[in-house]
Structure 1
Amino acid sequence: MPSSQHLLLKQFLTAATGPLARSRPRLPAIRLAAEAAALFQFVPWNVFLQDADVEGMAAEWLRPVGARPERVLLYLHGGGYVIGSLNTHRALVGALAASCQLNTLAINYRKAPEYPFPAALEDARLAYDWLLNQGYEASNIMVAGDSAGGGLGLALLQHLRDARQPLPAAAIGLSPWIDLALPTTLRRQACQEETRMLEALEMQTWGSLYAADTPQTHPLVSPTKGKLHGLPPLLIQISNAEVLHDDVVRFCRKASLSGVPVTLQVFEGLVHWWHLFWRFVPEARQALQQVGEFTHSVWAEQQAQSQVNSAA
């Protein structure tokens, strides 16, 4: 059963998004509201910020004290491919960096509708290549993202695989948006409060803004439509109350049948983007702790395999 803190959060979000759903604000107003809300976020103690320039793209490092210098997490923020920035996700990325004990690079990839597909994917690939050029081994890189950023990370994996490029050690999707068409009407009706919040944020139109002239069924737009063989270990977290739930479960089943090691963690009754509220919601802190445990297990397995190979 969700915590009392989450119940309060859910009530607040439902009340806050009601007027938005009725007024249908334009995208610039939604972006401004998201940036304003970011003013109340704070990075955890012992995580230090450092500006970065990734081939002209704004980015920043979030560096936890004690993180190993040779390992890195590339983070792709959510926001339906149309909103969000380094500011809106800085607190979440900082908390994730601390939980994983990984130096984390967050990037401000280009947004639709000004820059539709494949701009965001090109920027994600640019950041990944930049890390390789900085001397990081692919086996020491992980990719993570929430919502649209989670989908973007999974699209990046397929793109790298098809281009025969070295793949990262693992990828993490926090409530990833992997099918831009969104789930069925019946599923939306079963999650009425969640649906109202998504509709208030115009999410149903954002997929078409990002895809533009590209079919939403393109595998690099909706990664669940692609071939999933050959991908590295995946950790996927989702709530059973999210409208994205069914698509995520189907994706994980498909990936597993394709031979991909998949860890699916389903939480009970939580709203989309609950990870953002880690300071207030215990389930968010639990989720981030489990991400940290996953990354540590991947590194441990990698090290054990290396020792076996050396002995052979």
Structure 2
Amino acid sequence: MSTGTKVTLELPWVEKYRPYKLQDIVGNEETVERLKIIAKDGNMPNMIISGLPGIGKTTSVHCLAHELLGEYYHQATLELNASDDRGIDVVRNKIKQFAQTKIVLPPGRHKIIILDEADSMTPGAQQALRRTMEIYSNSTRFAFACNQSSKIIEPLQSRCAILRYNKLADEEVLARLLEIAKMEEVKYNSEGLQALIFTAEGDMRQAINNLQSTVAGFGFVNDVNVFKIVDQPHPLVIQNILLSCVKDKDLDKAMELLDSLWSKGYSAIDIVTSTFKVAKTIPDINEQTRLDVIKEIGFVHMRILEGVSTYLQLCGMYAKICDI
């Protein structure tokens, strides 16, 4: 039934605020400077950009392509993602076909093939690319974006310039979140922004998505709402558990707080992951104690990942931390 209201399709903020110029990219200044020099000279090499998810690898390649190709960007760029089938057939057909296509470009410019999540390409497909890269080197350049460059075969690595992206600093993520919050007129408090940064761990894409989800779900960005949206245990509760163990040696109090988290439905992996994050910044303990605590968490984390995901593992972990 129509209510007569007009429905407007809103872009996800992560797309709405995606940079289109290299100067707008946040973080990794040294690497981005190298890309700016490439854009200025116009001679792009084949390249591999590696780093963690959500820190701007693919966006950087698109920005570079925009600056190099200008109005020819759409017809002279081919992007293939991990979601596409990228076996040998795709290399032989799609990629080769695009490389063979005649497109009139300004002097010194090349067609660009962007292979996102390149480390999930089959070794056979990577081998098939070797010859294609050499045959069409006069007209086409390849850009591989991947999380681990070691999963790209050696012959391809030797044909490419390798750029590495580091995790974004908390201040860089915060600055971008504040910009978006201002443009979208988001209501927030400082605890809410801290929670977004804590949960994103240097991943800009996740930080922006969590910001939008919290605004859509609750209208106000504070720490409680953010942790509900990302479905992680509140770090203050985890911090209280650790302080009860390390400082007060009060295992009963720690178990009460653990029970409150367990009854809310958090899994063992949620709790142990958050415990590790909080242990790195827990206040007023000496570094040796901190290292011993992290070591215990590491052992339990390993057991949980191997499949022993039980409440008893968590109880044992906190009991051992009490003994430190």
Pick the structure with more helix per residue.
2
TM-score band by shorter chain is under 0.3
Larger strand proportion of the pair: 1
Q: Specify the structure having the higher radius of gyration (Cα).
A: 2
Give the TM-score of the pair, scaled to structure 2.
0.26
TM-score, length-normalised on structure 1?
A: 0.27
Q: Which has the higher contact order (CA 8 A, sep 6+)?
A: 1
